[in-house]
Amino acid sequence: PDTMERLLRRFRIRSQLARECVAEFLGLYIVFGSGAAAQVITSEGTHGSYLTIQLGSALGAIFGMLVAQGVSGAHLNPVYSMSLCVLGRHPWTKLPLYSLSQLIGAFLGAGTVYLQYYDAIQAFTGGQLLVAGPNATAGIFSSYPAEHLSFWGGLVDQVVAAALFLLCCMALEDKRNGPLPDGLQPIVVGVLILTMGVSMGSNCGFPLNPARDLGPRLFTFIAGWGPEVFKTCKWAGGGWWWVPLVAPFVGGLLGTLTYELLIEAHHPNTSNEEQSPRRQQEVVELEEMELEEVVVDSGHNT
Amino acid sequence: PDTMERLLRRFRIRSQLARECVAEFLGLYIVFGSGAAAQVITSEGTHGSYLTIQLGSALGAIFGMLVAQGVSGAHLNPVYSMSLCVLGRHPWTKLPLYSLSQLIGAFLGAGTVYLQYYDAIQAFTGGQLLVAGPNATAGIFSSYPAEHLSFWGGLVDQVVAAALFLLCCMALEDKRNGPLPDGLQPIVVGVLILTMGVSMGSNCGFPLNPARDLGPRLFTFIAGWGPEVFKTCKWAGGGWWWVPLVAPFVGGLLGTLTYELLIEAHHPNTSNEEQSPRRQQEVVELEEMELEEVVVDSGHNT
Amino acid sequence: PDTMERLLRRFRIRSQLARECVAEFLGLYIVFGSGAAAQVITSEGTHGSYLTIQLGSALGAIFGMLVAQGVSGAHLNPVYSMSLCVLGRHPWTKLPLYSLSQLIGAFLGAGTVYLQYYDAIQAFTGGQLLVAGPNATAGIFSSYPAEHLSFWGGLVDQVVAAALFLLCCMALEDKRNGPLPDGLQPIVVGVLILTMGVSMGSNCGFPLNPARDLGPRLFTFIAGWGPEVFKTCKWAGGGWWWVPLVAPFVGGLLGTLTYELLIEAHHPNTSNEEQSPRRQQEVVELEEMELEEVVVDSGHNT
Amino acid sequence: PDTMERLLRRFRIRSQLARECVAEFLGLYIVFGSGAAAQVITSEGTHGSYLTIQLGSALGAIFGMLVAQGVSGAHLNPVYSMSLCVLGRHPWTKLPLYSLSQLIGAFLGAGTVYLQYYDAIQAFTGGQLLVAGPNATAGIFSSYPAEHLSFWGGLVDQVVAAALFLLCCMALEDKRNGPLPDGLQPIVVGVLILTMGVSMGSNCGFPLNPARDLGPRLFTFIAGWGPEVFKTCKWAGGGWWWVPLVAPFVGGLLGTLTYELLIEAHHPNTSNEEQSPRRQQEVVELEEMELEEVVVDSGHNT
């Protein structure tokens, strides 16, 4: 035991920012969503269904959050990081490094899924890695618009979805709006992702997360699907790929501000709360617990 | 950070009732159920199933509750508000404004779903917005009776469903009947909605919520589905639309009183609830609640 | 408020046993399982699937437990009551009244489901209420064996299923074996029922609960399905109906004793636990906590 | 009551190791996964789907953990035991006995499932117990590779899956990385197993657990499936069976070390964990824990 602890201690990173980047990297690396899609697509529906793909994405994200939460707060999405920055709860300077770490995590995660499903993808495609058509497999890794979706429809879809997503995330963050039991946040965010998957997934697969979408897209670009992953057939002069990079930021900002303006700004006594240092949010919690203690004690003694 | 907080504080609404109405509005706005139905119907079942529609309704409601709970208590349903009023736990004077806010939230929520699924609905319907038939899309937004359902069958269905729903809600409310962990109530109510969806959804889609049903129906009326949304083909002289407006109130009252008369009225020492010792267990719980109140109060006052 | 409270107080039942019976009655009345089966069968699978039937049974039971738990402990199953009696944790004298209340609750619950699905059942069956064949609807309410099941196979299935069910229930009861958060027990039992439904439902629908099976069977007997509900075609001289009445008791006893003999009997310091009066369950719980600490401590130190 | 308690006390095992082995045995015995597979396969998909098989495995494991957790810590998997041993958190000397107990539990569990589904398996197979082909039933009990899977593909699949599994388990273990509510761990591990089932199940059924795979394989070997269960048709010179015995250990080690090196090693002040202040957040948490302890202590002393 001690031997192992001592060994591990040698590798200890003392930079807080470096630790956080590693956590963000790992959190996005282990997201299981692509595996769930690979399983359903390559088994032609015998090993799952649309629902299991959404379960894979949603529940997988829970474990990404559980891995990273104690170190970096488990942002795992540049849009979420940006929202916290806008609200002054996260330094802007960390945003690029967080995003880059997430991107690399998602890139390597896609690589791992490809490795794990290499045989299955070969068998399903006959070796042809395609972006469109009935044997397309690029959709395992990144989002592509459905046939019916217009360019504006795609933009609106991503803005609306990201707005609702961030609005709900802000509600979960807001300790004054509801006593969600400590530690359940990752699970509830996972449920939120599932909800979005079953409500907003058929237009373009609800990417919502620029790092989660671009990282695997870059992987498919170099792994054999080629430049097609950055093009779409029907929209002239451009392609789909930048929509899930840009629209979620717009929607996320919209949702964040909506929540702040409609709910959080109106909590009583917002003013003097700032004076207490934000970081020690736990103070209030601690006080509450002390009081609970008194209760328990008095309960015992009487 | 401070800049943003200061900016937001400018918009602060000091009226408690106004804050509550905004919360009720937003809580019903973000309910994801219609999106889940839109997704399954317009994708012709390739992006979901009956179960995912129910999951969308049920899990979506969880986030509506999480958004509103700290401000208004997250009624999100006029029937629930009415039940609390009947039991003297909510002022009757607030009922109309709560209901109106819920109605507007559901109306705009339907509009947002229509916006998000505009392309998909166009592609699915060929531009014809119909209330009945194989390409009908009105059912995305509001409830319509199944072919087999008679008028009386619809009434009974809604009365029974609302009675069971409110009966269970009252049990969840009743702190002396079971120590559900704090903060889990929205999740358990979401599970309740899912349970009802898989048990009581095939007659007429378990509307249960007059605001959630009428708001989107009004939206479809003006958005192109037209007056058909207020008519039903087979029932002479009238239509379905008022059943989910009226029957849930009747059923809700029935269920609320059933719970009160069969369970809550018989808890020991209901009469002098505030002062007297109950069973050992409850004393401690009550004291905890009182102390929590103190905490909350002191939070408010400082 | 006061008016209502005062009104309700007039109806107050002071007999603890009567209150418990009412709670057991109501808890089994609101179990949603039959509705889920009715929905799937009468919609011919368009409004659900095998999984939604199991979800209805399992999640519905959660709300039955939440309604009854604070009053009677939410047994909701004579087998569970019997197990507690065998272990000396529940008086044998209450067993008949509990079971009768459960039976009546299940009987009236079946009646309510029939009422709610009257139109749907008429449309699906053309008015013929059958026990067997493709249009059979008796399976909505009670269990019937699958084609492949022999008499001994049915007995074994019910004994094994009830044994595993009670074994797990005893583990959930055993505070010294794991700190399940207070108030989560009904939810975990619901998950257990779901697990059994997806693992042990295809032989004969895992009745497991004599009251839940006999009550609705009696209802179908008088409501038009007739004496066929007590017969089975292929087994000479008897019928299926008594298997789910008897086998679960045998299995339940087996599972209870297995858990007690393999796990609970070996917890350290079981001996001095008995001296504290049983009715003040909280005392025991407190002591258990002390014991857990001792255990943990000793575990660490040794 | 007293009689029963006194009776049970006679059987009390005082050896801590023996108790732990019994708990590991029982925990793996009651895992419901095989039943779920038996149900779907023998009902030819009318009583479940791929998702219900995964639900059976995942939720069943929850109850295995709940049964064993208070006694042995509910390892239920030799790979998990090994990981704890490597990290010095479990004595290596216990590893063989734990593994053997798990193996016997899984063996007898498979026997019970066979007993319960004997009629159904006979009806489905016409009495022929086959390992491959459309009527194969060996897959109910143990893992077999899919048609498309190569030998190396199978190895990689199991290494990757076990690595991710153990990585997430280590995160759940790591109290400094996230305050998962006490007692929820078994449930979250169950969710993790479900996630893996929907993400990594189509190559070879994600065995992940050498005891869970070998025990039932041995059972099928002697119960009539014969030596075929140790062979695979397409891979010359060997067979599949040892892959799920060996690869999970490799992957598990990889995942454990990855988590330790990327996350846990960098928690501030790992070295003098017991005494020293950690990061602000953790300080508070620690203090909270201490305070909770004080409460409990004072409760004990009064």
Block residue for tokens 């803005």: A159
Of D48, D67, D70, the CB nearest to C168: D67
Contact A148, B120 (CB under 8 A): yes
Q: Residue A87: is its pLDDT beyond 50? A: yes
Give the per-residue pLDDT at C233.
55
If you count DSSP H runs as helices and E runs as strands, how many of each does chain B have, helices first? 12, 0
Cβ within 8 Å of residue B166, ≥6 positions away = B79, B80, B83, B251, B252, B253, B254, B255, B256, B259
Handedness of CA B191, B196, B202, B207 (dihedral sign): negative
> How many CB pairs lie under 8 A apart between chains B and C?
166
Handedness of CA B90, B93, B96, B100 (dihedral sign): negative
Give the per-residue pLDDT at C187.
94
Q: Residue D165: is its pLDDT beyond 80? A: yes
Mean pLDDT of the region A184-191:
94
- pLDDT tens digits, one per residue of A16-42: 999 999 999 999 999 888 899 999 999
The predicted complex's ipTM stands at 0.87
Mean pLDDT of the region C262-284:
56
Block residue for tokens 């009495």: D127
Q: Residue A124: is its pLDDT beyond 70? A: yes
Contact between chains at C168 and D296 (C-beta distance less than 8 A): no
Contact B142, B206 (CB under 8 A): no
Instruction: Classify residue B133 by its DSSP letter.
Output: S
**Cβ contacts (< 8 Å) between C251 and chain D: which residues?**
none
**Cβ contacts (< 8 Å) between B14 and chain A: which residues?**
266
Give the per-residue pLDDT at C186.
93
Query: CA dihedral in degrees (A191, A193, A198, A203; nearest 10)?
Result: 170
Q: In what helix (H) or strand (E) does residue B298 lie, and over which residues does it extend?
A: helix B280-301
Contact between chains at B199 and C9 (C-beta distance less than 8 A): no
D109: left (phi over 0), alpha (psi -120 to 50) or beta: alpha
Q: Residue A67: is its pLDDT beyond 90? A: yes
Q: What is the CA radius of gyration of chain B?
A: 21
Contact between chains at B266 and C9 (C-beta distance less than 8 A): no
- Please give the single-letter amino acid code of residue C130: L
Contact C144, C131 (CB under 8 A): yes
Q: Residue C74: is its pLDDT beyond 90? A: yes
Mean pLDDT of the region A163-169:
96
Block residue for tokens 């010792």: B277
Distance CA B92, CA B85 (A): 6
Give the per-residue pLDDT at C280.
37
What separation, in Å, do the N-terminal and C-terminal C-alpha atoms of chain B show? 22
Q: Residue C15: is its pLDDT beyond 80? A: yes
Distance CA A30, CA A38 (A): 15
Contact between chains at B299 and A146 (C-beta distance less than 8 A): no
**A227: helix, coil or strand?**
helix
Distance CA D163, CA D259 (A): 10
Distance CA C133, CA C295 (A): 58
B219: left (phi over 0), alpha (psi -120 to 50) or beta: alpha
Contact D162, D213 (CB under 8 A): no
Contact C267, C177 (CB under 8 A): yes
CA geometry: angle at C212 spanning C206 and C213, to 5°? 65
Q: Residue C295: is its pLDDT beyond 60? A: no
Q: What is the CA radius of gyration of chain C?
A: 21
Looking at the complex, report in whole angstroms how far the Cα of residue D231 sits from the nearest Cα belonging to chain C.
Answer: 28
Q: Residue C38: is its pLDDT beyond 90? A: yes
Q: Which of D96-105, D151-160, D285-294 has the lowest mean pLDDT?
A: D285-294
Contact A102, A245 (CB under 8 A): no
**Between A232 and A266, the higher pLDDT residue:** A266
Contact D157, A121 (CB under 8 A): no
Q: Residue D11: is its pLDDT beyond 80? A: no
Helical residues (DSSP H) of C174-267, grouped into ranges: 185-200, 210-220, 243-262
**Per-residue DSSP letters for B184-243?**
-HHHHHHHHHHHHHHHH-TTT-----HHHHHHHHHHHIIIIIGGGGG--SSSSSS-STTH
Neighbour count for residue C290 (Cβ, 10 Å): 15
Give the per-residue pLDDT at C277.
37
Helical residues (DSSP H) of A126-281, grouped into ranges: 151-173, 185-200, 210-220, 243-262, 270-273
Token pair of B201, please?
């959804």
Contact D55, A49 (CB under 8 A): no
**Cβ contacts (< 8 Å) between C157 and chain D: which residues?**
116
Contact A110, A141 (CB under 8 A): yes
Mean pLDDT of the region C215-229:
94
**Cβ contacts (< 8 Å) between D258 and chain A: which residues?**
26
Distance CA D83, CA D94 (A): 13
Residue A207 backbone phi and psi in degrees, to 5: -60, -55
Confidence at A299, pLDDT banded by 50, 70, 90: very low
Instruction: Classify residue A89 by its DSSP letter.
Output: S
Q: Residue C10: is its pLDDT beyond 50? A: yes
Give the per-residue pLDDT at C11.
77
Q: Residue D277: is its pLDDT beyond 60? A: no
Instruction: Classify residue A77 by its DSSP letter.
Output: S
Of D12, D70, D119, the CB nearest to C178: D70
On average, the pLDDT of chain D sits at 86
Of A67, A70, A120, the CB nearest to D202: A120
CA geometry: angle at B285 spanning B283 and B287, to 5°? 70
- CB burial string C82-100: b at 16+ within 10 A, e below: bbbbbbeebeeebbeebbe
> How many CB pairs lie under 8 A apart between chains A and B?
192
What's the half-sphere exposure (Cβ side, CA atoms, 13 Å) at A73?
A: 15
Token pair of B136, please?
């009908």
Contact between chains at B177 and C43 (C-beta distance less than 8 A): no
Ordered per-residue pLDDT tens for chain B, 302 residues: 567 777 777 778 878 999 999 999 999 999 888 899 999 999 998 999 999 999 999 999 999 999 999 999 999 999 999 999 999 999 999 999 999 999 999 999 999 999 999 999 999 999 999 998 889 999 999 999 998 998 899 999 999 999 999 999 999 989 888 768 878 999 999 999 999 999 999 999 999 999 999 999 999 999 999 999 998 655 545 688 899 999 999 999 999 999 999 999 898 864 444 333 333 344 344 444 444 443 333 334 33
Residue D178 backbone phi and psi in degrees, to 5: 155, 130
Percent above pLDDT 70 for chain C = 85
Map out the domains of chain A with their CATH numbers. 9-266 (1.20.1080.10)
Token pair of D192, please?
């993790």
Distance CA B236, CA A255 (A): 45
Contact between chains at C51 and D46 (C-beta distance less than 8 A): no
Q: Residue D55: is its pLDDT beyond 90? A: yes
Could you tell me which chain B residue has the CA closest to the CA of C58? B195
Q: Show the beta-strand stretches assigned E in B17-175.
A: none
Residue A287 backbone phi and psi in degrees, to 5: -60, -40
Contact D243, D152 (CB under 8 A): no
**Exposed, middle or buried, B297 (CB in 10 Å: 0-12/13-18/19+)?**
exposed
Of C181, C265, C274, the CB nearest to D183: C181
Looking at the complex, report in whole angstroms how far the Cα of residue A58 sits from the nearest Cα belonging to chain D.
Answer: 9
**A11: helix, coil or strand?**
coil
Distance CA A219, CA D213 (A): 34
Cβ within 8 Å of residue B72, ≥6 positions away = B19, B20, B21, B23, B24, B27, B98
Contact B156, C115 (CB under 8 A): yes
**Mutate: best of C152, C202, C276, partner D, most D CBs <10 A:** C202
On average, the pLDDT of chain A sits at 86
Cα separation values, B156 from B162, B250, C137, D131, Å: 10, 10, 20, 53
Neighbour count for residue A46 (Cβ, 10 Å): 14
**Between C271 and C147, the higher pLDDT residue:** C147
Give the per-residue pLDDT at B268.
83
**Mutate: best of D52, D191, D292, partner C, most C CBs <10 A:** D52
Cβ within 8 Å of residue D140, ≥6 positions away = D34, D37, D38, D41, D113, D117, D121
Q: Which of B115-129, C77-91, C180-194 has the lowest mean pLDDT?
A: C180-194
**Per-residue DSSP letters for A44-55?**
TTTT--HHHHHH
Distance CA A88, CA B5 (A): 8
Q: Residue A188: is its pLDDT beyond 90? A: yes
- pLDDT tens digits, one per residue of D112-143: 999 999 999 999 999 999 998 889 999 999 99
Output the furthest CA–CA distance in chain C (Å, rounded): 72
Query: CA dihedral in degrees (B271, B272, B277, B280; nearest 10)?
Result: 40
- pLDDT tens digits, one per residue of D241-260: 889 999 999 999 999 999 99
Could you tell me which chain D residue has the CA closest to the CA of A59? D195
Give the per-residue pLDDT at A237.
52
Q: Residue C181: is its pLDDT beyond 90? A: no
Contact between chains at C168 and D116 (C-beta distance less than 8 A): no
